[in-house]
Amino acid sequence: MKLRPDIVGISLILVLAPFWLPLVHGYEALGTRVLVLGLAAMSLNFLLGFTGVLSFGHAAYFGLGAYGCGFALKYLAPSTPLAILCGMLLGTIAGALLGALIVRRRGVYFAMVTIAFGQVFYFIAFRWNTLTGGDDGLRGFSRQPIDLGFTTINIADNLTALYYFVLVCFAIAVGLMGLLLRSPFGRTLLAIRENERRARFLGLPIEQHIWLSFVISCAFMSMAGALYALLNNFADPKGLHYTQSGDFVIMAVLGGMRSFWGPLLGAAVFVVLQDSLSSMTTNWQSWIGVMFVIVVLFFPRGLLGFLRRKSQA
């Protein structure tokens, strides 16, 4: 098998992050946050960039993953892998049920319905005080060390260990997404994205494919949400809000939604800008907005598309 230079490069950057981050005024929690939000943006992009439908309510599944993870740690058992699994289950089941109702809509109607369903979960989390903690958020749980049998990885106190744990989860998720996209199923999704009518005339079951893509996207999204809950030891209703969905869309478009790694770059730029600009000015959101507008106007393929074209020129 040939080694792909982009994968090797990104792996090296990510694996060595704890060593070079302090040199550029970074810290591990920031790196972990980039990974988690990058995974979320890439999951959204599975649907947006590779199936061609825009979900504006994906924060709901992100938040459900976070709450599912928190519930499992708080009420079920103190086990981190179980918690991630529970978070993914909650988000995926919700995605599968609602996806079945949504997939027949297209374009702006698809986006509107996803927002509406997303807000349903937001208000449930916001108002069900006894279960979710309401506006104060779900707390009183904490990530647990991982017992591998022969050794324990202390992700509870050691942030470097947490970073590598999240990186492993990220790698598994991204690897699976990459494999899926290279499979005949993935090619079919591209065909639907390029020309839905033609794909339909070829006899492809469009709705089933979009539904499956939606569910896969929700599964990885809720995994990102579960990891986010572990990172913060907290789940809050704002993680389900449509503004959070908007942030994910911005990350995907900023980095380049037609490329596999684009959303990761978008998330990195977004998170780092958010972190550094907001320490300097309270108007940091306008700067991110300006950057978003510039990217959309002048680099329609996103930052990664722009960099690629430059290196090929």
Partner 1 sequence: MVQSGNRGIIRRRRVLQVGAGIGALQFASPFIIQARGEQSVKIGMIDPLTGAYAAVARSEVEGAKLALDQVNAKGGILGRKVELLVEDSANDVGIGVQKARKLIEGSGANFIFGDVNSAIALAVAQVTAEKKVLHIVTGGHSDAVTGTDCHWNVFRVCNSTVMDGNAIAGVLMSKFGKKWYFLTPDYAYGHSVQAALVKQLEAAGGKWQGSLTPIGTPDYSALLIKAKAYKPDVIVNVMGGGDQVNSIKQYVQFGLAKQIPMGGTLFEYESVAALPDDARSGWWTYEWYWNQPKTPHVADFVAEVKKRTNQVATARHWFGYVGVHTVALVSNQEKTLEAPKLAKALEGFKLPPEVALTPNPAIYRAGDHQLMSDVFVGQAHPKKAGGDPNDFFEVTDVVPGEKAAGPVAGCVLKYPA
Residues that bind partner 1 (CB under 8 A): 23-25, 27-30, 33, 126-127, 129, 133-137, 139-140, 142, 157, 159, 228, 231-234, 236, 238-239, 274-275, 278-279, 282, 284-285, 311
Q: Smallest distance, Å, CB 16 to partner 1?
A: 13
Rounded least distance, CB 271 to partner 1, Å: 8
Q: Which is nearer to partner 1, 151 or 243 (CB)?
A: 243
Give me 243's structure tokens: 């503004």
Question: Cβ 174 to partner 1, closest distance in Å?
Answer: 21
Q: Tell how far CA 52 is from the center of its chain.
A: 17
Q: Which is nearer to partner 1, 143 or 301 (CB)?
A: 143
Specify the residue, 2 or 197, whose C-beta has the smaller distance to partner 1.
Answer: 2
Backbone angles phi, psi at 243, to 5 degrees: -65, -35
Of 210 and 231, CB closest to partner 1 = 231
CA distance 273 to 288: 7
In the block, residue with structure tokens 């958020």? 137
Token pair for 31 = 């790196």
Write out the two tokens for 163: 């970073």
d(CA 42, CA 223): 12
Q: Which amino acid is at 242?
A: Y
User: For residue 240, what are its two tokens?
Assistant: 């389900």
CB-count burial class (<10 Å; 0-12, 13-18, 19+) for 184: exposed
Minimal distance in Å, beta carbon 224 to partner 1?
Answer: 12
In angstroms, what is the minimal distance from the CB of 235 to partner 1? 8
Minimum CB distance to partner 1, residue 191 (Å): 31
Residue with smaller CB distance to partner 1, 86 or 224: 224
Per DSSP, the residues of 5-29 read HHHHHHHHHHHTHHHHTGGGT--HH
In the complex with partner 1, the residue whose CB is nearer, 70 or 186, is 70
